[in-house]
Amino acid sequence: MDQNMIQAISLIKSSEYRFKILKAIGDDIIMPSEISKKIDIRLNHVSTFLQELKKKGLIECLNEDAKKGRLYQLTKLGKYAIAKVE
């Protein structure tokens, strides 16, 4: 297992919210507001966690320039890491 995967798994396991957000995204392309409704976490918390997950390479934003309606999906690393944690 490489270092990126170890760090990704550690990050996910250290927060129930990160795990819930990644599970909510799953195989979908989804907006933060949809994640918030799906897992009942305040939108500002979802946004904070999304930024952190993006920095670590677990998710990607498909339309970074959009001020509203940003779309997120899991990266390959994110998919592998969440599968390992499950």
Question: For residues 72 and 29, is the Cβ–Cβ distance under 8 A?
Answer: yes
Please state, in angstroms and as integers, the Cα–Cα distance from residue 56 to each residue in 22, 37, 38, 68, following that order.
Answer: 13, 24, 23, 22
Total number of domains in the chain? 1
Q: Which pLDDT band holds residue 86 (cuts at 50, 70, 90)?
A: confident
Span 7-27, pLDDT tens digits: 999 999 999 999 999 999 999
52-69 mean pLDDT: 93
pLDDT at 1: 78
**pTM score of the predicted model:** 0.90
CA distance 39 to 77: 22
Q: 54 lies in which domain range?
A: 3-85
